[in-house]
Structures are given as C-alpha cells and as structure tokens.
Amino acid sequence: MLENYLPIVVFIFLGLFFGIGPMLIGYLLGPSKPNEEKNTQFECGFPAFNDSRTYFNVRYYLVAILFILFDLEVAFVFPWAVVQSQLGWFGFVVMSIFLFLLIVGFVFEWKNGALEWE
C-alpha cells in the first residue's frame, strides 16, 4: 500500500528541491555587500513618496476585475476555436450566448461609467 504513495513523495521532494534549491544556492554562492542605499525601498527606480497604506479609488479595482473577466473570456475562446468544427451548431450557439452575455456586461459597465477615469 505504501509503494503507491512513493511517486507522490518523490514528486513532493523534487518540487521542493527545484523550488528551494536555486534560492538556497543563490544565497550561499552569491555576493552579499549590503549597505543602506541598497536596502532602501523603491518602486520603478524612484524613492517612495508616501506611506504604502494610501487610499485607492474603487474604480481601479473595477477596471482590474473587468480586465480579469475579459482575460478569462479569451481563455475560454481559444479552446473553443480549436474544436469549433467538431462541436457544430450547438457549440456555436452556446459560445454566442456566452459572448453576448459578456458584451452586455461590458456595455452595462461602460454606460454606468465604470471605465471613466476622473
């Protein structure tokens, strides 16, 4: 019974080795010359201007959610396009309904001003 779990255990050890091993090797073999300037926080090459806990506009999150939504749409459209000829009219109608609902949602968000940036 235990030999059935041997591939899983080997896979876990290999995953840990390939995940932690390169970081450990880099830490042990890499040069380490820390100074105050290297340890300062920066973003895009500029020093931080404000505290990291600042207010963000809700519209930023709405745009991010819309991006994820339409990114997932593309993830569904590619496999459908590959097998579309095998699915026939049923697959075409189902995907048309899916795309129609996404377009209706997009138009709704557009009309409500979720994409307007002030």
- For residue 63, CA distances in Å to 37, 57, 72, 106 come to 35, 11, 14, 11
C-alpha span between 21 and 35 (Å, rounded): 26
pTM, two decimals, is 0.47
Q: Is the backbone of residue 116 left (phi > 0), alpha (psi -120 to 50) or beta?
A: beta
pLDDT tens for 34-66 read 888 777 766 666 666 666 677 777 777 777 888
- Among residues 115, 19, 6, 13, the alpha carbon closest in space to that of 62 is found at 115
pLDDT tens for 5-36 read 999 999 999 999 999 999 999 999 988 888 88
Mean pLDDT of 69-77: 82
% of the chain residues with pLDDT over 70: 88
- Give me the residues paired with residue 43 across strands: 46
Give residue 29's pLDDT. Answer: 94
- Give me the residues paired with residue 46 across strands: 43
